[in-house]
Chain A
Amino acid sequence: MSAGADKANDGRPLWLAVVASPLTMRLACLGAILLFWELAPRMEWISPVMLSTLSSTVMIGFANIDVFLANLGVTLGSLLLALVIALGGGAVVGVLLGSIRPLRNTLLPIMSSIYAVPLVVVYPVFTAWVGIGVESKVLFGGLYGFFPMLLATAAGIRTVDSRYMLAARSMGATRVQVILHVMLPAALPSVISGVRIGSALTAIGVVVAEMMAATAGIGFLITQNRTMFNTAEVYFGVLLVVVLAGTIDWLVSVFERRAADWYPQKVRAI
């Protein structure tokens, strides 16, 4: 290796730059976790009844892949419907509450109080009303993600810099033009963080609902195998939920990079 290549990064040796790069570090952490997962039950640091080894989890999972995929499909279907309620409903109500002062002053505090309540406690009541079919988990998941989406949207609308609105009005913008060309774009970063939290919570809501009372879905599968002490199946289900959550988060960041590239990423809250 030449001296020049050695000093590629801030005068640090190249090998150090590669080893200390965030990506390398992230992969190393992931590798360590996976290694621990394999070794801990194998070496009996953790009882195999509590935690199955990574290899047996994956093997059991792929042996029953058709069952898992069918249930994952059920979960995804419910999740998509729940996301429509959470993100669509939250955005519409958020815009209304954020921009109409009387509504904002009366309803917004109530909404943030409801958001602070752990909604899981009302799920039994919920199932009494709508049963334990698809409707209940769609509604429950939707409700779970609805409040953070609503609050983030309303906050984004409410905190739009008043200079932008004055400038737009002085240039002749109508009320509708102000909403379309100033308020919504200005609120976008906050709305996207609402999408991020809202969709994660919607996924939690759907899976939790499936775990508590359902007849199909990944959450149902996890609970069912749990009662039968099929540890490996339980963990494969968990693994699928993790992959699902990671995929949603990745999709949101792709959307964020495209939609709000004018927004300094460093300031992003969550």
Chain B
Amino acid sequence: MLKLKDVSAFYGYIHALKNISIEVKEGTIVTLLGANGAGKTSTLKTISGMLKPKKGTIEFQGRDISKKRPEDIVSLGIVQSPEGRQVFPELTVLENLKVGAYTRKDKNIKNTLIKIYDYFPILKERKNQMAGTLSGGEQQMLAIGRALMAKPKLLLLDEPSLGLAPLIVNNIFKIIEEIKKEGTTILLVEQNAYKALAIADYAYILETGKVVLQGNAKELKSDSKVKSAYLGG
């Protein structure tokens, strides 16, 4: 479904991505792991068109999207829940969700909204509250819900468990699995490698802008190198 081939990207002179090749197959969860500054967020940014690659191609359902504008990429069905949530603090919860549906032209937005309230009942309770006043966990749910409002084919999640209590983390991971079951393909960036590998089908490990390891999630979980570097033993 999504194929990055030899993608290189820069911030000024900082070489953030060095010949990254990644593939995400339809209907799977692929996870992107790595230390701080490895280039995970940058990879997602190049996919969603926020960071233009200097080199390489990004193919989505057979067409090159590396030169497309972010709004066109969203229209094609790739939507991101960004790192650090980034909800619009002075929009209500419901308005935030409506922003998520901005590119949609179909009439079924209500149904999607019902489904999202199903996943995250708290959002329904708080729908008229300013998003900036939600707790961190609620904001994370809102960010995921907002992305889902676009009815994405491919959902990009950047550290959805960041800063959340263990119970909420479990809940979020459960919902990510449900979203996959509903037919949405997911590219998941995580610090919580253990949990990410548990729900992912395939995994890539990044180090200083390069893919250093990749493989089946189950295999990587028992790989000794991965264990010592990312799973704490």
Q: Tell me if chain B binds chain A.
A: no
**Residues of B bordering A, CB below 8 Å:** none
